[in-house]
Amino acid sequence: MTPIVTRAPEQTHDALIAYSNAATTASSITATSTDGDNVASNMFNGFTFDGWKADAAGTQHVQINFTAPVTVDYFAFYNTDASENGATIKFQYSSGGGFVDAVSILPIDNSPQLSTFAPVSATAFRVVIENATSPTMLSVASFGEFLPIPFGLENSFNSPHNSQQFSNITNASETGNFIGRSVRKQSSDFTVSTRLLQYDWFIQNWRPFIRHAERRPFFFKWSDSTYTDEAVYCWTVEKIQTPVFTDEHFMSFSLDLKGLVT
């Protein structure tokens, strides 16, 4: 049988960055329950070593309130034991005196999740952990308006999900026998590059994003329609390269990143 070979597209056209976190401008953040110092606001500081943890099983939520309507079209989270506890994670917005689901995910592992949806505007939002068998932790959550990369990525891009995700230390006895291996999670190196971007796009979008990326991590997805489960929680590496003109009308950029995919 002759194998069927499908040529990869030259560029992906639905890559996006999710860095703008509306929760950082909230008027108040409250939780139905909290376990010790694992307070609700920890979810929105970007750190993966802490987070919000409820002090009870079942359904718990964090509510984020604003003094004026906020427009949102994405929700992302990372680092949770929801899959171990059989919990569903939902993102809701206030509407008609109640709350409506914008996103509902039943995690099967600890990989980053980034979901987009039609824009909604509301003055209150909830992150819900539903039907957990044990008190559940959620380290990182983010919601707001995502930044699309309009012309797509260069065809040299390789998903960080294809990289090695763990480093190994093999242990051997004095006689050379294999006696075990230590496995440690590690970040994946990857580069995001694109070109043929209008200068106005850089003024309106790149500059605010870089001010964020200089100090904080963000979520990235290289294909929002085809490989929807390949989100990354990532950060820039050392000095961020300055965008350059590729010709008299268009510009390009290249970002060297490290990211967590599990």
Q: Is residue 229 part of a domain?
A: yes
Mean of pLDDT over the chain = 90
Q: Is residue 155 part of a domain?
A: no
Q: Which of 146, 172, 188 lies at the terminal end of a domain, its last residue?
A: 146
pLDDT in tens, 44-59: 999 999 999 999 999 9
CATH number, domain of 66, equals: 2.60.120.260
Does residue 166 sit in the same domain as residue 194? yes
Does residue 127 sit in the same domain as residue 168? no
Does residue 131 sit in the same domain as residue 181? no
Does residue 245 sit in the same domain as residue 222? yes
Choose between 206 and 174: higher pLDDT: 206
**How many domains is the chain built from?**
2
Q: Is residue 98 part of a domain?
A: yes
Range of the domain at 248: 160-260
Element housing 74 (H / E): strand 58-80
Q: Is residue 154 part of a domain?
A: no
Nearest Cα residue to 114 out of 78, 139, 84: 78
Choose between 8 and 82: higher pLDDT: 82
pLDDT in tens, 202-231: 999 999 999 999 999 999 999 998 889 999
Q: Is the pTM of this model over 0.75?
A: yes
Residue 161, token pair as written in the block: 């999900």
Q: Which of 146, 176, 205 lies at the terminal end of a domain, its last residue?
A: 146
Choose between 152 and 205: higher pLDDT: 205
Residue 27 sits at φ, ψ, to 5 deg, of -80, -30
Q: Is residue 233 part of a domain?
A: yes
**pLDDT reading at 2 higher than 50:** no
Q: Is residue 151 part of a domain?
A: no
Contact in structure between 224 and 155 (CB atoms under 8 Å)? no
Q: Is residue 8 part of a domain?
A: no
CB atoms within 10 A of CB 182: 10
Does residue 210 sit in the same domain as residue 177? yes
**pLDDT reading at 26 higher than 90:** yes
Distances (CA, A) of 220 to 130, 131, 144, 197, 249: 26, 28, 14, 19, 27
Q: Which of 113, 146, 179 lies at the terminal end of a domain, its last residue?
A: 146
Does residue 245 sit in the same domain as residue 214? yes
Does residue 93 sit in the same domain as residue 126? yes
Does residue 102 sit in the same domain as residue 194? no
Does residue 175 sit in the same domain as residue 74? no
Does residue 140 sit in the same domain as residue 21? yes
Does residue 204 sit in the same domain as residue 170? yes
Binned at pLDDT 50, 70 and 90, residue 12 comes out as: low
Does residue 134 sit in the same domain as residue 240? no
Q: Is residue 2 part of a domain?
A: no
